[in-house]
Structure formats: C-alpha cells, structure tokens
C-alpha cells in the first residue's frame, strides 16, 4: 500500500465542517452522563445501624432515615440553621465512628483520580455547632476521624495536622512536608493511581497513635504538560500564553518515592520511625490497625511485585515481625492488598496460590486458621465477618461472567444473598446486619434491594422502571464464546434492530484487554454500542488471554510480553466474525480506550490484520512512557526486560500500519500522557503514513465534561460510518 504524508486533523471537526454535528447530539443520550442508571443504594449507614443518612436534593440538609422502612426520622444537619458558622450547601459528608459528629465538605476540588481537597467543617450534631476543620489551612485533604471521634487527622500542604475537637485546638503532627519532595499521610501520584488509595494514615484502636507513611519523591523525575485557556471551564490567565502543570511521575525503570513508616504518639507528640530491616521492602501499599487494638498490620511489596510480605508492628516500641510471605511466579494480584480484611483477631487474605483467587484466614500472629473458599470459581470481594462469625463475600460464579454474593455461616453452610445468575454487588452496614444488593444481567437494568444479611428482603430501593422503559426497544447483547488457537474466549455480540441474516453488516469490535480486567460480563450497561447497532453496525467484544477470573494460567500468559497474546486473540476473533455469513469481512473496525487504545494500535499494526478502521483513545504506545507500578507489575523494568518492551510497543510497529486510524487524546492527561500519541504520530510522519487525530484541550484521561464524552464517541461513530 502506497503511503502518504501524515495528515493530522487538529480541529474539533473531523466529523463535519459545521459548528456542531447532529451525531454528537444523537449519541449524547447513550453515553455518560446521560447513561447513568441510578441504583438508590444506601451508602451512609449510622455506625450502630440505627439508621442511615442522606442529603436532600440541593445538598443543604442531611436527614436521618429508618433503615427498614425508609421513613424520615429527623434532620441532623440544616445548612440554614447552624451555630457559630454557616454555609450555603455542601458537596459530601463523613460520619464519625460514634455517630455524634460529621465532617462537612465544601468547595471540593479534584487533585488526581481519587484525591481531592476541600474546605471541611466539623459539625457536632447534638450541639448544632459548625466549625472549620482548620483555621490555619485554607484547604484540607484526606480527613480521618480517630476511633473515639474526638480528633481528626488531615493533610494540608503535604503535612499532617491534628484537630482536637473537645478542645478546639489544632496542632502540627509533621512539619517537613514540601511540594515535590516530602509527602506525609497521603500517596504520591503513582501510589494513588496504581495502589487505589487516597490516604496513608491509620489510627490505633484506642486513638492514642496515628501511624502514617512519609514519601520522599525528591529523586522522582518531574513531568510537565501545558495548560491552555480552553473553552471548557476556561482559565483566563492562559489566554495569550499557555501555563503548565508539573508533578512527579516515575516512568518504568526510573526511581520511585522512597517510603517510610512512622507513628505519632498523641500524648507525647513524638514521632518514631518503624523499620523492617528487609531490603525487599520497596512499596507499602497498605497500613491498618486491627480494629480496637494496637496491632499495626503493614503490607509490603518488592519492586517487581512478585513478593508480598505482611508485618505486625508495635507502633510505640517499633518492634516488627514478619507474619506472612506470599510469593507469586508472575505478579501479586492487587486484590491481595486492596481487599485485605482485618478483624480484631485475624486478617483475611485473597490469594491466588492455588491458581484461583480464594480466601485464607490468619491470626494476627500469622498462623493459618483456615482456607475459607476453594475451587475454580474466583472470589472477587470479601465484605467481612459479622459478630456471630458469618463471612460475606462475592464470587465470579456460577460462571466467570456472573457475580454472586454469599454468606458462609459458622456451620460451614453457604447461602446466596440476592440472585445467583447475573451480576450482584453488595454494600453492607457497619455491623453487617443489613445489606443492599444491586442486581442486573445483560438484558435487565439494575434493581437495588435492602435485605437483612440473612437474605430476608425488607424493601426494594430502586427498580429503574422508567429507565427500563426508556431503553426497552434498544438492541440486546448476547453472550457467546470464540475459539482462538484452541483457547475458548468469552465474548458478547450485539446485532442491529430488524437484523436480517441474509444481509452483510459492518462490524465494530470494542475491547479493553488489560491484564486482570474483564469487559465481558452478565451485567447490564448502556453506552455507545447500542447507538452503533441502531446505525446498522454489529458490535462485539472479546476478553482475550490475560483478563481476569479464569485462573492464573489464563492471566499469567501475558507476563513480560504485553500485547502479544491479546493481539493474537483479537485478530483470531475478528477472523471468526468475518467468517459469519452476515458479517462483511471487508468492513471490520476495532476501538478502545487507555489499555484498549493500546491494544487497538497493536492490532492495527499487526501484519495481515483484518481491520479496515481503528480508533484509539488515550493509548499507551510504549510501556517505557508509562508509570513504574503498573508497567513493571506486568513487564518488570526496561532494564530487566528490554526485548519485551521493544516487542510490546506499537511505537516500534508503525511501519506495519495499513489500517485507517483515528487517534484521540486529552492534552492534560496525567495518566497516559499525550506524549504517547504524539510520539506515535511523529513516527508515522517519518514513515510517511496517514492518520487522523483529535485533541481535547485541558482534558484528562477521562475526557469528560462540557459534552466532551459525546464528542469523543460521536467523532468515533462518524469515523466508522464514513470509513466502514
């Protein structure tokens, strides 16, 4: 195929020369935020299960409701009737452990994906007194009540401060915090993003000690990207000259923050450092006191993330003891530390040691008490153990596409909470006496139900009848399987309305494909795929090797070689679909976002691939550009796996591109940097190859707000319409 000079469309109109495209308006009803399906779930139970709190529609009041009936009991907070201070409204609230106080958040501003700062207030419910959490710091981050509800630890300007509510005093816990160097109590960017946390502080059960992590990011390289005025939430200060945003971002193989564990004694105001004496301790993704005790459990990982070690630490004497070591052939599944459940006498670990994710209970000294679950169905979440010893968990069962919530009682009998087939998630009250289950399947929108934890239903919270009626005429997904070189892959297929098996239709394959992910589920979802089907496309999605809940052998095959098996499986799946009598083999497209964008480019640059059109959104184009924790978890460092990084980079495969390609990316993407797309386009330019590109000024990885999501998918759909 003759190659042309690169053509890059940098305007907002690949799709039309007009100021606005009709397809953007049409697709807007199918994508976020219009596709959000409310569940009515309860999220703010009172600590003693005496009721639950919920904000009114305009976030000016917080009302206490009866759990069983849903009837209003009382108004516990009214912004128009507070003593000492007043606010107009609030963004969210946090309940103290004893239920006597609230933290009220106003003027919330996002930092990264999970973190935010706000102007917080403390509210004494009985006395109706509203006070600023801090009188010295304008904004606060990650506030944390002490177990006795008498203090709040929070972070401001990289330092931890302590508010003693009884005395209305405020003191510094740390004073060495400094932007770009020392962070206390909260994670740096890569910890937050890849270890899924926004706080690195924990209180002892008697409220006498605050343990926290200090991160020294001095040696982490700085990453910067430009900021423009933009039309979405314009920043007028950058009208004529762009500004910039800089932060510490460690790419694969580069230095991470060095972390240290410390404890603060409230009575003496002294800080001591807790050491482990083990050079393999590189990351500390979680710290947690066993409830009601002074036993601190510290979860650590080596840099390769193949070795997890849990320590028991005494925060005052600083004595530590290794109580568990978990070694993996490839990587430790993040669920092991993200879902570590700690009780007053034990902890429950979700381990893949058998080849499948299962629960194991250990004493606080590290003795194995029991293996709780087994078999080939994998545990996807542990909710905890109630006072009677009943254990609640979610499992990918009866098939890997389903999620079922179970209760295992003290006699070893397992009961299902909610429904078995489909996708059920659960939220439990603090004592685990009550449970809100939300269930859907591939054809049925979510229904939320409040139950006792024994499964006895109390009332339905939401049936989404109006939403169901709205989408009842839309095309439905069908769950299928595809054979790829003898490996059976899970997939779904969506056919156009009034489907005619004698007609040949264009096909769009959408996928994510990342290790440990799962896109094919017996779960309801409304998105652009239904819109595409109404436009005459068949839409399909396939979970390739490397994805989750089919055992470690299925997942581990991608280790050190991302993109290889995923691409084989996506190409084989496309060839299978092409063999169907009703699929036009000359009109097959593929698309994806983030890892899905990466895999889209891997497929588009695969020799002799069957894809005519590809759309990659915010793609990684070389794992050397991506962060340490994620890239090294699956690839090790570039120094350890040079060949793997070379083979897995679409950037090194551009000469194979024969597919018509559209790239889209936010210019302020702090996660997958625009650098990925620009370097890819630069290489295409050197090769003399054509592509199209649309950039979203000041948008981050989610490309959301000001109708941007509709523009992303409207642009993608028009590209497929024009070229398939």
Q: How far is the C-alpha of 251 from the C-alpha of 666, rounded, in Å?
A: 19
Name the phi and psi angles at 430, rounded to 5.
-55, -40
Torsion of CA 206, 209, 211, 216, to 10 degrees: 170
Chain centroid to CA 647: 28
Residues 529 and 613 in one domain: yes
Please state the domain count of the chain: 2
Lowest mean pLDDT among 103-117, 457-471, 563-577, 629-643: 457-471
Residues 430 and 579 in one domain: no
Q: Residue written as tokens 């400094």?
A: 178
Residues 490 and 632 in one domain: yes
**Final residue belonging to a domain, choices 414, 436, 463:** 463
Q: Is residue 651 part of a domain?
A: yes
**pLDDT value of position 19:** 57
For residue 34 the two structure tokens come to 């219009």
Q: Is residue 518 part of a domain?
A: yes
The domain that holds 642 is classified in CATH as 3.40.50.1820
Q: Is residue 487 part of a domain?
A: yes
Q: Is residue 191 part of a domain?
A: no
DSSP structure string for 92-111: EEEE-TTSSEEEEEEEEEE-
Nearest to 576 by CA among 484, 670, 659: 484
Q: How far is it between the farthest Cα atoms of the chain? A: 81
Q: Is residue 17 part of a domain?
A: no
Q: How far is the C-alpha of 302 from the C-alpha of 304, rounded, in Å?
A: 6
Q: How far is the C-alpha of 719 from the C-alpha of 713, rounded, in Å?
A: 10
Question: pLDDT digit string (tens) for 581-591?
Answer: 999 999 999 99
Can you tell me whether residue 529 is helix, strand or coil?
helix
Q: Is residue 529 part of a domain?
A: yes
**pLDDT value of position 711:** 98
Q: Is residue 154 part of a domain?
A: no
Question: pLDDT digit string (tens) for 379-398?
Answer: 999 999 999 999 999 999 99
For residue 569 the two structure tokens come to 């499986």
Residues 486 and 513 in one domain: yes
The dihedral built from the CA positions of residue 259, 260, 264 and 270, taken in this order, carries a sign that is: negative
CB 213 within 8 A of CB 260: yes
Domain containing residue 647: 22-36+475-723
**Final residue belonging to a domain, choices 432, 463, 494:** 463
Mean confidence (pLDDT) of the chain: 95
Chain centroid to CA 51: 29
| H or E element at residue 446 | strand 444-452
Residues 528 and 610 in one domain: yes
Nearest to 595 by CA among 636, 647, 648: 648
For residue 698 the two structure tokens come to 């000041």
Residues 600 and 570 in one domain: yes
CB 530 within 8 A of CB 538: no
Question: pLDDT digit string (tens) for 35-81?
Answer: 988 877 788 999 999 999 999 999 999 999 999 999 999 999 999 99
> How deeply is 4 buried, as exposed, middle or buried, from its count of CB atoms within 10 A (0-12, 13-18, 19+)?
exposed
Q: How far is the C-alpha of 665 from the C-alpha of 609, rounded, in Å?
A: 24
CB 57 within 8 A of CB 424: no
* Active site residues per annotation: 594, 669, 701
Beta-strand ranges (E) seen in 469-573 are: 477-484, 487-494, 505-510, 538-542
In this prediction, residues 609-619 reach a mean pLDDT of 98
Residues 575 and 510 in one domain: yes
Q: Is residue 609 part of a domain?
A: yes
Strand partners, 307: 327
Residues 650 and 687 in one domain: yes
Can you tell me whether residue 351 is helix, strand or coil?
strand
Query: With pLDDT > 70 as the criterion, what percentage of the chain qualifies?
Result: 97
DSSP structure string for 128-162: TEEEES-SS-S-EEEEEE-TTSSEEEEEETTEEEE
In this prediction, residues 309-322 reach a mean pLDDT of 96
Q: How far is the C-alpha of 30 from the C-alpha of 173, rounded, in Å?
A: 49
Residues 514 and 451 in one domain: no
CB 714 within 8 A of CB 32: no
Residues 485 and 451 in one domain: no
Q: How far is the C-alpha of 622 from the C-alpha of 684, rounded, in Å?
A: 14
**Final residue belonging to a domain, choices 433, 463, 493:** 463
Q: How far is the C-alpha of 565 from the C-alpha of 582, rounded, in Å?
A: 27
In this prediction, residues 291-308 reach a mean pLDDT of 97
Whole-model pTM: value is 0.95
> Does residue 6 carry a pLDDT above 70?
no
**pLDDT value of position 21:** 87
Q: Residue written as tokens 């709040």?
A: 152
Residues 544 and 659 in one domain: yes
Residues 510 and 439 in one domain: no
3-state secondary structure 576-640: HHHHCCCEEEEEEEEEEECHHHHHHHHHHCCCCCCCCEEEEECCCCCHHHCEHHHHHHHHCCCCC
> Does residue 7 carry a pLDDT above 50?
no
CB 484 within 8 A of CB 62: no
**pLDDT value of position 11:** 34
Name the phi and psi angles at 711, rounded to 5.
-70, -40
């Amino acid at each position: 195929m003759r190659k042309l000079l690169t053509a890059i469309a940098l305007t907002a109109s690949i799709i039309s020369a007009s100021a606005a495209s009709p397809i953007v308006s049409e697709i807007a009803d199918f994508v976020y935020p219009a596709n959000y399906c409310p569940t009515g779930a309860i999220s703010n139970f009172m600590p003693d299960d005496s009721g639950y709190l919920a904000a009114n529609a305009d976030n000016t009041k917080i009302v206490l409701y009866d759990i069983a009936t849903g009837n209003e009991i009382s108004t516990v907070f009214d912004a128009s009737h507070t003593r000492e201070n007043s606010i107009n409204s609030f963004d969210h609230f946090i309940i103290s452990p004893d239920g006597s106080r609230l933290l009220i958040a106003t003027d919330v501003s996002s930092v990264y994906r999970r973190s935010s700062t706000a102007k917080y207030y403390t509210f004494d419910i009985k006395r109706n007194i509203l006070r600023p959490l801090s009188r010295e710091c304008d904004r606060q981050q990650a506030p944390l009540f002490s177990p006795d509800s008498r203090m709040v630890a929070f972070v401001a300007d990289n330092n931890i401060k302590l508010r003693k509510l009884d005395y209305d005093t405020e003191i510094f816990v740390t004073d060495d915090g400094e932007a770009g160097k020392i962070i206390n109590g909260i994670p740096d960017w890569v910890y937050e993003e890849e270890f899924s946390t926004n706080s690195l502080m924990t209180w002892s059960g008697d409220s006498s000690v605050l343990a926290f992590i200090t991160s020294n990011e001095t040696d982490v390289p700085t990453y910067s990207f430009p900021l423009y005025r933009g039309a979405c939430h314009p920043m007028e200060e950058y009208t004529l000259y762009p500004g910039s945003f800089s932060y510490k971002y460690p790419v694969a193989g580069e230095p991470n923050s060095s972390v240290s564990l410390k404890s603060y004694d409230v009575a003496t105001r002294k800080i001591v450092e807790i050491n482990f004496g083990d050079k393999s301790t590189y990351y500390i993704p979680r710290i947690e006191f066993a409830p009601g005790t002074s036993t601190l459990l510290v979860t650590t990982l080596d840099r390769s993330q193949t070795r997890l070690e849990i320590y028991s630490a005494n925060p005052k004497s600083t004595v530590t003891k290794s109580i568990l070591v978990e070694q993996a052939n490839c990587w430790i599944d993040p669920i092991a530390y993200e879902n570590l459940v700690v009780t007053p006498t034990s902890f429950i670990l979700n381990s893949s040691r058998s080849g499948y994710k299962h629960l194991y209970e250990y004493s606080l000294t590290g003795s194995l008490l029991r293996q709780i679950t087994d078999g080939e169905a994998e545990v996807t979440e542990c909710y905890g153990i109630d006072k009677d010893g009943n254990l609640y968990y979610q499992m990918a069962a009866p098939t890997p596409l389903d999620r079922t919530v179970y209760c295992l009682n003290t006699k070893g009998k397992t009961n299902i909470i909610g429904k078995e087939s489909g996708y059920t998630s659960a939220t439990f009250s603090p004592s685990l006496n009550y449970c809100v289950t939300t269930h859907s399947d591939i054809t049925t929108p979510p229904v939320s139900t409040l139950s006792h934890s024994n499964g006895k239903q109390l009332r339905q919270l939401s049936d989404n009848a109006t939403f169901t009626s709205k989408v009842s005429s839309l095309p439905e997904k069908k769950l299928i399987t595809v054979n790829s070189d003898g490996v059976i892959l899970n997939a779904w297929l969506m056919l156009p309305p009034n489907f005619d098996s004698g007609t040949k239709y264009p096909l769009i394959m959408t996928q994510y494909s990342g290790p440990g992910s799962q896109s094919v589920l017996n779960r309801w979802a409304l998105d652009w795929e239904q819109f595409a089907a109404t436009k005459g496309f068949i839409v399909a999605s396939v979970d390739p090797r490397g994805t989750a809940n089919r055992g470690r052998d299925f997942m581990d095959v991608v280790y050190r070689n991302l993109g290889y098996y995923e691409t084989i499986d996506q190409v084989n799946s496309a060839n299978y679909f092409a063999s169907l009598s009703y699929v036009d083999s000359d009109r097959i497209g593929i698309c994806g976002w983030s890892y899905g964008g990466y895999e889209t480019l891997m497929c588009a640059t695969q020799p002799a691939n069957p894809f005519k059109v590809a759309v990659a959104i915010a793609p990684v184009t070389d794992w050397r550009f991506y962060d340490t924790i994620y890239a090294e978890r699956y690839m090790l460092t570039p120094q350890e796996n040079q060949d793997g990084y070379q083979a897995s980079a679409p950037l090194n495969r551009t000469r194979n591109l024969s597919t018509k390609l559209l790239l889209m990316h936010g210019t302020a993407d702090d996660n997958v940097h625009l650098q990925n797309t620009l370097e890819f386009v630069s290489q295409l330019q050197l090769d003399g190859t054509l592509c199209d590109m649309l950039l979203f000024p000041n948008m981050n990885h989610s490309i959301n707000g000001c109708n941007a999501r509709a523009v992303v998918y409207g642009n993608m759909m028009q590209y497929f319409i024009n070229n398939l």
